[in-house]
Amino acid sequence: MTIFLKIIQREIPADIVYEDSHCLAFRDVNPQAPVHVLLIPKKPVASLDELTEDDAELCGHLLLTVPKIATLLGLDGGYRTVVNTGPHGGQTVFHLHIHIMGGRNLAWPPG
């Protein structure tokens, strides 16, 4: 069981900023920007590589939820989304998640 599943099940506290029947968003405990939120599906999917055709509706829902969360967080000047996939991609928690970061000018390239 991942730490994110424990957050979904309320076994571990988190600063939740958004929740609906399909997903949950909470502030990152190690923020890389003034605003740094993680959006996770409630369905445990390890990474982008583990998605199937059956997950198409869930993926669409997650992507359509990102701008709603950005608006809630006041990210009117723009924001960055990141999905790390696999160890070489920087993924450290193997539960699909979208980083939503903003609150300052974000430089490129990121890493």
Per-residue pLDDT tens digits of the chain, which is 111 residues long: 899 999 999 999 999 999 999 999 999 999 999 999 999 999 999 999 999 999 999 999 999 999 999 999 999 999 999 999 999 999 999 999 999 999 999 988 765
Structural domains in the chain (count)? 1
Any domain includes 95? yes
Task: Give pLDDT, residue 66.
Answer: 98
Any domain includes 108? no
For the question of residue 22 being annotated catalytic, the response is: no
Any domain includes 111? no
Output the six-digit token pair for 51: 């998605």
Check: CB of residue 59 under 8 Å from CB of residue 51: yes
CATH number at residue 24: 3.30.428.10
Any domain includes 41? yes
Any domain includes 93? yes
Which residues form the domain of 86?
3-102
Any domain includes 109? no
Statement: the pTM of the whole predicted model exceeds 0.75: yes
Output the six-digit token pair for 3: 């730490």
User: Which one of 36, 95, 97, 99 is the catalytic residue?
Assistant: 97
